[in-house]
Structure 1
Amino acid sequence: MTIVRKSSGVKFQKSRPNLWFEKIMAIIAVINLLLVIFDLSYVPIRDFWLHGQIRLGNLRSAYVSIPGIKLDIIPDDISQFILQYDNVKGIVPNRTTEKYLSKVAELEQKLETTKINDPEIIPILSDLRRRSVEMIQNDAFEEAGKSGNLERLKNIMREYLPNEEQSSKQAFWQFWSVNYLQNNTTAKLAFFNDEIKPLIETNYYRHIGETGGYVDNFGFLDFPFGAIFALEFLARTWLISRTRTGVSWIDAMLWRWYDVFFFLPFWRWLRVIPTSVRLQRSRLLPLNIGNRIQKQISQGIVAGIAEDITEVVVIRIINQLQISIRQGDISNLLAERNQNGYIDINNTNETAEIIKIFANTMVDRVLPKIQPEAEALLQYSLQKAIQQSPAYQGVSFLPGGKTAVSSLTKQLVSQTYSGFAAALKAVLEEDKKFEQLLESLFTNVNQSFVSEIKARQSLNQIETLLVDLLEEIKINYVERLSAEDVEQILEQTRSIRKITQN
């Protein structure tokens, strides 16, 4: 360990060999993640690896045709090298379309030395017409999930050789005929090689294994990475358990739970989680980028499970309340203070003490602060009541009568309010006799209330109604609560965090 001394104290920094090990493991993790991404995307984008080009703005249908722009991205030799990955995914050429293209190649080879109307050419054209119809009727592209390419192929042929029935079969039948190919044979075959042949080449057959699924040998490529990370996981967690006090080997494994994704044979895409963590800790990524990646991953996990957790927790609470009500916990709560089995941990009547605290707060703090407003309200109410009396009507005609009544009312209200506050304060002072009387009052009220409810059989009705009410809440509102927009909650959380940081 190297020590870095600063004015604020002594800080320890990881030794350089340990940091280099973290960087090496992070690079291996990135390589493995890229391999996983390539494997997961290989079959869906195999057409791109096959031809090494993309089309922009290309749209074809039976009614609309918009020519696109072809962009060559990958050279042919690199495309052929990448296509060797077909062996890993168990992909081989489809026999039907492969034989079809072989017949076309045979036709082109024959035309180099003979003419289109030569007797050797006629059987080949007849065979191509038959194969074209079979390819369309039997949908030779369906097994590979390439039926969309077959539809594109049919649309191109309908557009190239329109007919009254708008039939792609009839278009192919006409295309592979002597009468049609005898003029501009080279240009017409060039059309086939540029537009039709690339679509036919995308078709393939994928072997099925004994398990019933497609053959996939990616596990053989992934095994060395899994073995490396599994051994590193065992060694690292063992070292953590040896260097951390009170941490067992199992605890250390749970501590590094995210590393398990490196050697799981399924859900391989989840390896983005430990890879981002390793890139951050190895300092191969800037700290802020690493933190953002980790934060987005954690928020995504939270958003995914928050709805389920919310629903489970709320339903669990409501079910527990219903069980407690059915078991008679309401009556027990009301009556058990008077039973010998009730445990009092501090020899104090908490209900009475809470009421005293509220009363003292009201007398010492609240009543003095609200005195002007309270007196004004009382004075207004009293004056209004006096003004409506017949006696006030006679006094008001006397000189100074209204002023005298107003002054008397104000004085009466002030003295009454002050007297009430003083009396209440005197009552709340330490007085054992008062506390005994208050305790006795609460006890009698509690006993009377419980006995009356039980005597009239109201408690069972109350419990039944409460259980039904909770069931209605669970049905009508819990689903709304769980379906609340989790992303909106996360957005509010981020806003609050930003405000607190500023």
Structure 2
Amino acid sequence: MTLTKISVTSSAKSSRRQLWFEKIMALLVLLNYSLVIFDLSYIPLRDFWLQGRVQIYLKIGAFEREIPDPPLKILPFPVTQYYDWVKGIEAYRETEHYLNLVNQLNDAIEQRITEPGNESQVQQIENLLEKLRHESVEMIAQNPFQVANKTGTLERIKNKMREHIFDKKDGSAKEAFTIFWTQENFQKNGLRHELDFFDEQIRPLIETNYFRPVGENGEPVNNFGLIDLPFFLVFLVEFMARTWSISRRHTGVSWFDAMLWRWYDIFLLIPLIRWLRIIPLIIRLNQAKLIDMKAIKKQASQGFVAGIAQDITEVVVIQIINQVQSSIEEGSIRNLVMRRNVNAYIDINDINETAEITKLVAHLIVEKVLPEIRPEAEAFLHYNIAKILTQTPAYQNLENLPGVKSLQTQLTQGLVSQLYQSLSQGLEQLLIEDQKFNELLERLANKFTKTMSTEMQCKQSIEQIEELINALLEEVKINYVQRLSSEDVEKILEQTRALRQEIN
């Protein structure tokens, strides 16, 4: 008793340790897959990781709007400063130089405001404005956003500038930038107002541009393998150790068979299709009891059944009926009748089963059934005989005579008792072993079968039977199969779920 208790306790502790190991590995796979998804979505979502702002640009026909306006700030710091190196992303020189010129212009204007007597600042501001006009025209003509596949961003910049200068999105974007970077525009619309417009509307769009070099393999630089390598090594060691352990624990299972046993873990070791690591992730989370796949599996299977049950039911049933019809058309019924008439009957046990079954049923009826139902049977016969007598014209004329009604009752009861007794005795005769009776019964059965087969061999009868069976099957297809295929499968599944709940 003590040894058994110790063994059970040791097994429970081992199971708990195994479960904790499964949980740790499942969480490690979850962390790795989160990094994989982040890496795969980094380029498409880099604008968000750069500025931490959320804004949706909607354009439906003539309707255009940015929602919300201004953008909603979510991230407190740019993630790009920590992750751009993974993708090999660098600042694009032309656009970075353009923004540096704007920064220099802001510094010169601030210095001009703080030192109004310094006339050299005026010339510096004018030189910076001229450079910005030239750089703006070059930016529009050269389209430095094309390398990062962000030509749409340049279009938004041009539209914003045209709308700001011309109050419409038509016109020359080059002319709009040329007008914007002038002293006259700053004096007309306000220096601070114009610079704030650029910093809030234009600068964030220009900042999203970047340069990503191409590696020797012809693909853009991607250093994610350096991040994924530690996970790969852990998964590889765990896979080799686990499969080796499985091959040792199970007889007849080779190491390669054990690897196939854990086929889903192979996706953790393939760097080209990292997104498929969702498969081992889900399986491991379920094995570690961090998620419950039973409900999901049940709903998925029920959805699958609901989707194909109707088609399968109709196809299978119609196919069966078509096969039966084909067999009939090929003469299966005719061949069956002919064969039964020609071939000799083979008796495997020297027993006439038909006669024995008849006697067995008679024995059951005479000894068990008839004595039990005699009161109800006599009452039934008495009622029907009395009813027949009362409807007879001759009896109706005698009914009013004294003593006739009581005589009718006595006669009826006697007749019913005699009939029931005769029936019982007749059935009892079947229980008596009678060779002559058996021979006559067998001759009757054989004669009936032979006559039936002979008459059915008539061409007209066979053809009529085949036509009727085919017509019946066609009606079944049209009426019942169609009705079955249009049955509400969801109701059937609901009934199935209700039955399962009752069983549980």
TM-score of the two chains, using structure 1 as the length reference: 0.63
Q: Say which SS state the counterpart of residue 76 (structure 1) adopts.
A: coil
Q: In 2, distance between residues paired with 1:270 and 1:341?
A: 68
- The structure 1 residue matched to 2:499, chosen from 493, 496, 500, is 496
What is the Cα deviation at residue 81 of structure 1?
A: 1.1
Q: In 2, distance between residues paired with 1:199 and 1:349?
A: 100
- The structure 2 residue matched to 1:106, chosen from 90, 101, 104, is 101
For the Cα contact (< 8 Å) 1:229–1:262, is it kept in 2? yes
| 1:181–1:471 distance in 2 versus 1, CA, 3 Å | farther
Is 1:75–2:76 an aligned residue pair? yes
- The structure 2 residue matched to 1:187, chosen from 189, 193, 217, is 193
Is 1:278–2:284 an aligned residue pair? yes
- The letter for the 2-side match of 1:198 is P
Matched residue, 1:48: 48
Q: In 2, distance between residues paired with 1:358 and 1:207?
A: 95
What is the Cα deviation at residue 22 of structure 1?
A: 3.9
Q: In 1, distance between residues paired with 2:28 and 2:359?
A: 69
What is the Cα deviation at residue 60 of structure 1?
A: 8.4
Q: Say which SS state the counterpart of residue 81 (structure 2) adopts.
A: helix
- The letter for the 1-side match of 2:52 is G
Matched residue, 2:114: none
For the Cα contact (< 8 Å) 2:57–2:64, is it kept in 1? no
Matched residue, 2:37: 37
Q: In 2, distance between residues paired with 1:216 and 1:409?
A: 108
Q: In 2, distance between residues paired with 1:237 and 1:439?
A: 71
| 1:225–1:186 distance in 2 versus 1, CA, 3 Å | same
| 1:122–1:449 distance in 2 versus 1, CA, 3 Å | farther
Q: In 2, distance between residues paired with 1:429 and 1:45?
A: 97
Q: In 1, distance between residues paired with 2:158 and 2:419?
A: 100
Q: In 2, distance between residues paired with 1:467 and 1:232?
A: 61
Matched residue, 2:112: none
Higher radius of gyration, 1 or 2: 2
- The structure 2 residue matched to 1:167, chosen from 157, 166, 169, is 169
184-193 vs 19-28, greater mean Cα deviation: 19-28
Q: What is the number of equivalent residue pairs in this alignment? A: 476
Q: In 1, distance between residues paired with 2:363 and 2:433?
A: 11
| 1:268–1:86 distance in 2 versus 1, CA, 3 Å | closer
Matched residue, 1:244: 250
Matched residue, 1:121: 129
The 5 Å alignment of 1:14-413 reads: 15=14, 21-54=21-54, 62=63, 67=68, 71-87=72-88, 99=94, 102-110=97-105, 112-113=107-108, 118=126, 121-122=129-130, 124-125=132-133, 128=136, 143=149, 163=167, 166-167=168-169, 174=176, 176-177=179-180, 178=182, 179-182=184-187, 183-202=189-208, 225=231, 229=235, 232-233=238-239, 235-245=241-251, 252=258, 255-263=261-269, 271-279=277-285, 281-282=287-288, 285=289, 290=291, 292=292, 294-299=293-298, 301-303=300-302, 305-306=304-305, 307=307, 311=311, 315=315, 318-319=318-319, 322-323=322-323, 325-326=325-326, 328=330, 330-331=332-333, 390-391=393-394, 393-394=396-397
For the Cα contact (< 8 Å) 1:174–1:180, is it kept in 2? no
Q: In 1, distance between residues paired with 2:346 and 2:50?
A: 80
Q: Which 5+ residue runs of structure 2 have no aligned equivalent?
A: 109-120
Q: In 2, distance between residues paired with 1:329 and 1:361?
A: 41
For the Cα contact (< 8 Å) 1:299–1:490, is it kept in 2? no
For the Cα contact (< 8 Å) 2:243–2:255, is it kept in 1? yes
What is the Cα deviation at residue 467 of structure 1?
A: 8.3
CA RMSD of aligned residues (A): 6.2
What is the Cα deviation at residue 418 of structure 1?
A: 8.4
- The letter for the 2-side match of 1:243 is R
Q: In 2, distance between residues paired with 1:360 and 1:185?
A: 119
Q: Say which SS state the counterpart of residue 193 (structure 2) adopts.
A: helix
Q: In 2, distance between residues paired with 1:267 and 1:17?
A: 32
Q: In 2, distance between residues paired with 1:211 and 1:324?
A: 64
| 1:385–1:470 distance in 2 versus 1, CA, 3 Å | closer
| 1:172–1:241 distance in 2 versus 1, CA, 3 Å | same
What is the Cα deviation at residue 42 of structure 1?
A: 3.3
- The letter for the 1-side match of 2:48 is F
Q: In 2, distance between residues paired with 1:429 and 1:260?
A: 79
Is 1:457–2:456 an aligned residue pair? no
- The letter for the 1-side match of 2:25 is M
Q: In 1, distance between residues paired with 2:255 and 2:284?
A: 21
Q: In 1, distance between residues paired with 2:23 and 2:103?
A: 56
| 1:108–1:475 distance in 2 versus 1, CA, 3 Å | farther
Matched residue, 1:12: 11
What is the Cα deviation at residue 295 of structure 1?
A: 1.1
- The letter for the 2-side match of 1:13 is A
Q: Which 5+ residue runs of structure 1 have no aligned equivalent?
A: none
- The letter for the 1-side match of 2:204 is P
TM-score of the two chains, using structure 2 as the length reference: 0.63
Q: In 2, distance between residues paired with 1:185 and 1:352?
A: 119
Q: Say which SS state the counterpart of residue 34 (structure 1) adopts.
A: helix
Q: In 2, distance between residues paired with 1:207 and 1:497?
A: 61
What is the Cα deviation at residue 49 of structure 1?
A: 1.8
For the Cα contact (< 8 Å) 1:60–1:152, is it kept in 2? no
Matched residue, 2:118: none
Q: In 1, distance between residues paired with 2:464 and 2:217?
A: 65
For the Cα contact (< 8 Å) 2:162–2:176, is it kept in 1? no
- The letter for the 1-side match of 2:169 is S
Q: In 2, distance between residues paired with 1:212 and 1:403?
A: 119
For the Cα contact (< 8 Å) 1:92–1:206, is it kept in 2? yes
For the Cα contact (< 8 Å) 1:241–1:249, is it kept in 2? yes
| 1:48–1:428 distance in 2 versus 1, CA, 3 Å | farther
| 1:75–1:168 distance in 2 versus 1, CA, 3 Å | farther
| 1:34–1:142 distance in 2 versus 1, CA, 3 Å | closer
Q: Deviations over 1:158-178 (max 9, x none)?
A: 886673xx4265788546533
Q: Deviations over 1:118-138 (max 9, x none)?
A: 365246336536856997xx9
What is the Cα deviation at residue 206 of structure 1?
A: 7.8
327-336 vs 370-379, greater mean Cα deviation: 370-379
Q: In 2, distance between residues paired with 1:281 and 1:50?
A: 38
- The letter for the 2-side match of 1:82 is Y
488-497 vs 404-413, greater mean Cα deviation: 404-413
| 1:140–1:79 distance in 2 versus 1, CA, 3 Å | closer
| 1:272–1:127 distance in 2 versus 1, CA, 3 Å | closer
- The letter for the 2-side match of 1:53 is R
- The letter for the 1-side match of 2:129 is I
